[in-house]
């Protein structure tokens, strides 16, 4: 099974996204990467966000972002497993 790749923008950390990133880094089943910029400047200054396997996930708070990221990972796994079955 492939690890989900979760990407964060360093410029978004002022919205407590760094706490979400640290929580996710504790899970060895996830690949968490921080970049200087992800090119989503409009989102970056408005609310906490990250990318899960390239999909933008955003929320009002960092705690909500964590929950939404976890939900997205589950959804993507279910979709991938459904595609792998004949």
Chain segment 16-52, per-residue pLDDT in tens: 999 999 999 999 999 999 988 877 777 777 899 999 9
Global pTM value: 0.87
> From residue 3, how far is each of 6, 31, 35, 47 by CA, in Å?
9, 6, 18, 25
Phi–psi pair at 38, nearest 5 degrees: -105, 0
pLDDT at 82: 78
**C-alpha span between 83 and 14 (Å, rounded):** 38
Determine the 3-state secondary structure of 48 from DSSP.
Answer: coil
**C-alpha span between 28 and 9 (Å, rounded):** 20
Chain segment 49-83, per-residue pLDDT in tens: 999 999 999 999 999 999 999 999 999 988 888 77
pLDDT at 36: 85
DSSP one-letter string for 1-18: -PPPEEEEEGGGGGGTHH
């Amino acid at each position: 099974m492939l690890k989900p790749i979760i990407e964060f923008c360093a410029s978004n950390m002022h919205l407590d996204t760094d706490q979400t990133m640290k929580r996710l880094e504790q899970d060895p089943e996830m690949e968490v990467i921080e970049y200087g910029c992800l090119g989503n400047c409009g989102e970056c200054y408005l609310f906490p966000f990250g990318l899960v396997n390239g999909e933008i996930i955003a929320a009002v708070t960092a705690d909500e972002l964590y929950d939404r990221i976890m939900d997205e990972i589950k959804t993507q796994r279910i979709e991938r497993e459904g595609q792998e079955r004949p």
